[in-house]
Structure 1
């Protein structure tokens, strides 16, 4: 696959003016080299472990996913796709870090992954010493800690900056329009709460998933070392392979739409429930309506109405949002 573009010397002004508007992935080489956590990781695994343990909130345990050796680090479904191939428990952060460092050389071993640890809750003070200059402080970071994990190809409904603290990670990325070629699993039942591809990249089955070849042709791939950061734009599919026995990553998710909004999955679920099984002629009517009022020309669709008469089809204010929420709730008889 083609390499993910690499840039250096990125500051807030360049990120806001060039990288974010372009909507393309880039590796920002050495972006967080100045983090104390990265400096400790360059010393040794034990040094960064001890640094992180000093921030661990007393008495708190973190969720930990545990995968048997036979799955070789790939967190995924069971064969029936009605459950998962891993279990989840909770452990003290300090004990988890100790276990990972002590067992980091063991390759044929259980895979351990603590995902999406909210740092302000579990490691207060870490963010004060390790700040990302590209984003507002309101975008709270999360930490991902594990050994040789393979995170199945998935997408998130947000932008993402992933900063590698320790270990090495390989990212494989696909544009959002590759969804048909990646064979997604169920949106409403997914290992990490977001849709994942059913096709393996490490052991591809082109007879079962022939269009995966087209996705690979469109894919990008790159490796991160401690201090590097990767910008993953909204809804880009990404597969992550942790390539060391001890890996730490900090990421930041954000969305310009803000937090006071319903997930677009809400519209997808409602459309499946109300539109998918209509007769073809009726579906075509609603395709046209959705294009006009949502996708293609929403402003033009109500341009002939005064602002006071646009109601739920005009600019989304707090009052309009509340009205639409009530209409949705009432129409679905919730």
Structure 2
């Protein structure tokens, strides 16, 4: 375990159906202690692995799920092979019953193979589950609700664009969290080849190599740790990096993702990749000029670029709406296809 003394702030006594909006509208992580402790699944898990397993099966729709399967020697760390030519696990499609069977078979193994059902939409896989196992997200009526099921695991540090409320329902989890500005100190891996479509930190948190990754010590100084018992929730603000450990032989997490921006706002990673194509390899003086333009038009005061332009002539500088976003997207597609 890393030597990170700072612990994520805990708040007790929050009503799961009346979460104060300001708690999930800040740029600091927070543990909502016991937010899901009343869930029938959480109660079943406290009684036994088998009872929680049966409860999940009672809702299963039969739809195949995506799962990661790793050999015992990876020790639950889903990562790359030694030379980064492949991943160190296999992705499969299987029935949830098959994965749950494997977890039961290996629950007492000292070093089991690893099984991990990740990011599976609850309403499709387990229809009816949320009738009694749910929280209300104050910002939206339609968050994306996903379930994650597995045995001991180490999910490499990564970030997600949406805000996230992660509820540890069965078993215990440990999150190690870093603010977005620590990106360079976390040593991200490839953009276009990674475990789940998102770049990950190359640092092994169980055994960090400080000679190879010296800046990671700076990241540790800025990090926070959240230890979640069954029923606890963790709010992770958008773009915060997080390393996730499933600590038991059977762990279930349900998370809620949402965005406060309009639906027409596109993924920021698309802009990042386009900038790799158009800007990164320019001469330094040109990159500096583009940085000034981005600071003015994108990262500065939104009103300043249009302050002397009549509203009817502001065009793209005016606040975007659905129609303007469609026109801009069509223009970009046309340009990129040339």
Please list the CA deviations of residues 184-216 of structure 1 after superposition, one character each: whole Å capped at 9, or x if unmatched: 112222211112101111110000000000111
- Determine which of 2, 8, 11 is the counterpart of 1:7: 11
Give the CA deviation at 1:325.
0.8
> Is the counterpart of residue 209 in structure 1 residue 225 in structure 2?
no
- Determine which of 35, 38, 49 is the counterpart of 1:31: 35
**Native 8 Å contact 1:107 1:245 kept in 2:** no
Listed as ranges, the gaps of 5+ residues in structure 1 are none
The residue that corresponds to 1:291 in the other structure is: 295
SS at match of 2:264: coil
- Whole-Å separation in 2 of the counterparts to 1:98 and 1:8: 35
The residue that corresponds to 2:330 in the other structure is: 326
- Whole-Å separation in 1 of the counterparts to 2:110 and 2:310: 67
The residue that corresponds to 1:127 in the other structure is: 130
- Whole-Å separation in 1 of the counterparts to 2:308 and 2:141: 42
1:258/1:104 Cα in 2 relative to 1: closer, same or farther (>3 Å)? farther
- Whole-Å separation in 2 of the counterparts to 1:21 and 1:15: 9
The residue that corresponds to 2:319 in the other structure is: 315
Give the CA deviation at 1:269.
0.9
- Residues matched between the structures, number: 332
**Native 8 Å contact 1:26 1:230 kept in 2:** yes
**Native 8 Å contact 1:127 1:141 kept in 2:** no
- Whole-Å separation in 2 of the counterparts to 1:215 and 1:311: 41
- Whole-Å separation in 2 of the counterparts to 1:62 and 1:14: 31
The residue that corresponds to 1:276 in the other structure is: 280
Give the CA deviation at 1:14.
5.3
Listed as ranges, the gaps of 5+ residues in structure 2 are none
SS at match of 2:25: helix
**Native 8 Å contact 1:312 1:323 kept in 2:** no
The residue that corresponds to 1:252 in the other structure is: 256
The residue that corresponds to 2:107 in the other structure is: 104
**Native 8 Å contact 2:79 2:195 kept in 1:** yes
> Is the counterpart of residue 55 in structure 1 residue 59 in structure 2?
yes
**Native 8 Å contact 2:18 2:136 kept in 1:** no
- Whole-Å separation in 2 of the counterparts to 1:37 and 1:57: 17
> Is the counterpart of residue 84 in structure 1 residue 84 in structure 2?
no
> Is the counterpart of residue 64 in structure 1 residue 41 in structure 2?
no
> Is the counterpart of residue 193 in structure 1 residue 232 in structure 2?
no
> Is the counterpart of residue 162 in structure 1 residue 128 in structure 2?
no
The residue that corresponds to 1:118 in the other structure is: 121
Structure 2 length-normalised TM: 0.94
> Is the counterpart of residue 16 in structure 1 residue 21 in structure 2?
yes
- Structural RMSD (CA): 1.5
Give the CA deviation at 1:81.
2.2
**Native 8 Å contact 2:35 2:232 kept in 1:** yes
Moved over 6 A (4+): none
Which is further off, 96-105 or 301-310?
96-105
- Whole-Å separation in 2 of the counterparts to 1:298 and 1:330: 26
Note the 1:176-191 alignment, pairs <5 A. 176-191=180-195
